[in-house]
Amino acid sequence: MTEANPDTAPAPRGRGRPRDPEVEDAILRAALELFLERGVDGASIEQIAKRAGVGKLTVYRRWSTKEDLLVQAIESLVNDEDRWPTNDEIETVSPHELIERALPSAAEAAASPEFRALVSRVLGSAVSNPALLATYWKHNILPRRRLTSALLERAKAIGTVPENADLDVLTDMMAGAVTYRVFQPDPPDAAEMRRYLRALYRQAGLLPR
């Protein structure tokens, strides 16, 4: 990864991040690797820049804090938006059908060693580094929670989730169970995770029993 003297050349635009996808990808990859290897305290902007083969200022020009950079790097690993249903689909397609479509890639992702390492690192820094957790919550978790809530609302409307269910608690139960499961001894492979997610969604009322 080389770049024409990025720290002394003027930024191509007056404000915002100059678009150089190769540089950006290299920084995000380096940030993710270092975060998974060493955690948030072991991943400094300086080390990230070094591993990406760029100068520190090149990183700072794009991300104002390490937390913002790490959260975007994490997002690039998770990167599952292509399998999320749209609002329109949630209104018109059954939750059962939407879950069946998303299940194989969701299981693959949840069973990957990278996901396990990621959650371990994020939760492991919760007390020492609350800023990362807060940013992660806002950018990575909340959008997925809204989606789950919308699916559960829909399932309530068609009667597969009980009318009196507490959807916030049920959302925590679903997300929490997956996290909890991957940290048990002998973490599941993708096939076992598919079976597990099916049982979980059945339990929640999103798949038929």
Q: Which residues bind a second copy (CB under 8 A)?
A: 39, 116-117, 119-121, 123-127, 133-134, 137, 164-166, 169-170, 172-181, 183-185, 196, 199-200, 202-203, 209
Q: Compute the CA torsion angle 96, 101, 102, 108 (nearest 10 deg).
A: 120
User: Which residues contact residue 172 at a Cβ distance below 8 angstroms, ignoring those fewer than 6 apart?
Assistant: none
150: exposed, middle or buried (Cβ count in 10 Å: 0-12, 13-18, 19+): middle
Nearer to a second copy, 56 or 198 (CB): 198
Half-sphere exposure (Cβ direction) of 111: Cα atoms closer than 13 Å: 17
| Euclidean distance between CA atoms 65 and 72, whole angstroms | 11
**Minimum distance from residue 165 beta carbon to a second copy (Å):** 7
Backbone angles phi, psi at 12, to 5 degrees: -60, -25
Token representation of residue 19: 């678009």
**Minimum distance from residue 132 beta carbon to a second copy (Å):** 12
Nearer to a second copy, 93 or 117 (CB): 117
| Euclidean distance between CA atoms 159 and 95, whole angstroms | 11
**Minimum distance from residue 142 beta carbon to a second copy (Å):** 10
Amino acid of residue 109 = A
Nearer to a second copy, 119 or 190 (CB): 119
**Minimum distance from residue 118 beta carbon to a second copy (Å):** 9
Nearer to a second copy, 11 or 149 (CB): 149
Nearer to a second copy, 63 or 196 (CB): 196
Half-sphere exposure (Cβ direction) of 135: Cα atoms closer than 13 Å: 18
The conformation of residue 81, written as its DSSP 8-state character, comes to: G
Token representation of residue 113: 């060693």
**Minimum distance from residue 111 beta carbon to a second copy (Å):** 15
Nearer to a second copy, 9 or 141 (CB): 141
**Minimum distance from residue 5 beta carbon to a second copy (Å):** 38
